[in-house]
Amino acid sequence: MYLAHGITRALAPPVQKFQSSIILKWILGFCWYLLHLVVSLVDMVCFLNHLLLSSIISTGLLRKYQNLKLNNLNCLAIVVDSEEAEDITKTQKLLSWLSSIDVKCITLYDLQGVLKRTIGNDFKSMTNTSLRECKMSKMTVEILSLSDGKEGIAKAANFLISKYMKDDSLRCNGTKPTFSESQVSNALEAIGYKGPDPELLLVYGPARCHLGFPPWRLRYTEIIHMGSLRFMNYGSLARALYDFSKKNQNYGK
């Protein structure tokens, strides 16, 4: 029976097979678009819900979002999509909001170094400090890009092996280089690639993705997606910080 079926299929005219595969593709494509329509509708409802709450928070009507207790936030990181980071006014507005909430330490990051070029240069001319870090009135702002992540760790490895090769006592003993995590952290500090591990990271962009934020500093960081920087509002920022203040971590226990 299977042999007969196979032969019939093989002898069927190619045009018929071609037409049925096009029809099948159309059906699959239509079903796929339907599925995505459902996802978009659900996402739209969630977005509108979030927008409504954020607008109410921005008006100051909800007291619990007013005096935020940020005792467990020593450092806040912000990842911005590089294209959106070109609009410097948005980032400056974000920094001023954070300053008003009394956030003391901020790490800004974007993939391509746009923030270093725009905000970084602004800071350099205002405060005459290094491109990567500067002190505003009560805030420390550090600005990073992709090269501060994996490349920084590679440089730390070079630093460690350099020290090892110059230490005759270690090499003559025949000990193989076996470094520890704290030695790597110290090496990162020695070469200027160390900074505080942020407790919270806010992602401003189309997707929840950290885009290469320095891996050594992301171990226990809460990562929140804030949506596009173009649509940023004070209410969602306050909500994200409030939700963070209520978090408890077990650290593996």
Binding mask 92-131 toward another protein (x if CB under 8 A, else -) reads: -------------------xx-------------------
Based on the shown chain and the rule CB under 8 A, indicate whether residue 59 belongs to the binding site for another protein: no
8 A C-beta contact, residue 97 and residue 204: no
CB of 117: closest distance to another protein in angstroms?
14
Based on the shown chain and the rule CB under 8 A, indicate whether residue 31 belongs to the binding site for another protein: yes
CA angle 216–101–98, rounded 5-degree value: 50
CB of 60: closest distance to another protein in angstroms?
26
Binding mask 157-176 toward another protein (x if CB under 8 A, else -) reads: xx-xxx-xx-----x----x
User: From CA 116, how far away is CA 80, in angstroms rounded?
Assistant: 12
- Characterize the bridge pairing of strands 140-144 and 76-80: unpaired
Residue 221 half-sphere exposure toward CB, CA atoms < 13 A: 26
Based on the shown chain and the rule CB under 8 A, indicate whether residue 252 belongs to the binding site for another protein: yes
Which two three-digit tokens encode residue 56? 């109410």
Distance of CA 66 to the CA centre of its chain: 26
* Residues engaged in binding another protein (CB under 8 A): 28-29, 31-32, 35-36, 39-40, 43, 111-112, 146, 149-151, 153-158, 160-162, 164-165, 171, 176-181, 184, 205-212, 215-216, 218-225, 249, 251-253
